[in-house]
Copies of this chain bind each other. A is one copy, B any other.
Amino acid sequence: MKSYRKELWFNTDKRLDFINITPQINHCLKESGIREGLVLVNAMHITASVFINDDEGGLHHDFEVWLEKLAPHGPVTQYLHNRGEDNADGHMKRQIMGREVVVAITDGLLDFGPWEQIFYGEFDGRRKKRVLVKIIGE
């Protein structure tokens, strides 16, 4: 069994943002030399997500509106967590969008359907945060 590990760093301009990281994951996969196995991609921070969905700007806008409705940022005083912080909503948004994805590797490629793309979802940005890429296989 071979294993591979890499950290990807992000620092978004906005508090909430979605970044397509599929090219970086493809690069990691090539670098690993692993042709059969699994890749785990996870946010290393608890107000961020890694998820798989569509690379379509309209949908990303819809996601933002929807997440704000399900877990509103303000008023920040509605959350006990926001004593000295203001990111309780980010912890919730990340639960809906998920911490991680696990993707099959087949013949040295991400084994994806036609529209699957991997995104970093930031819910408390404007600072440096990390994603972990771990690949195991042969």
Tell me the A residues contacting B by CB distance below 8 Å.
Answer: 1, 3, 5, 36-38, 40, 42-46, 51-54, 56-59, 61-63, 66, 70-71, 79-83, 88, 91-92, 94-104, 106, 111-116, 130, 132, 134, 136-138
Which residues of chain B have C-beta atoms less than 8 A from A40's C-beta? 38, 102-104
A83 CB contact (under 8 Å) in B58, B83, B91, B132: B58
Judge whether B104 and A92 touch: CB under 8 Å: no
Inter-chain CA distance A103–B59, complex, in Å, is 29
| Cβ-defined contact, B62 with A88, below 8 A | yes
Tell me which residues across on chain B come within 8 A of A134, comparing CB atoms: 38, 104, 106, 111
Interface of A, secondary structure class, is mixed
Closest residue of chain B to A111 (Cβ to Cβ) is B132
Is the pair A71, B66 in contact by a Cβ cutoff of 8 Å? yes
Chain B residues near A111: list those with CB within 8 A.
5, 132, 134
Is B98 in contact with A81, judged by CB distance below 8 angstroms? no
Q: Are B113 and A36 neighbours in the complex by a CB distance under 8 Å?
A: no
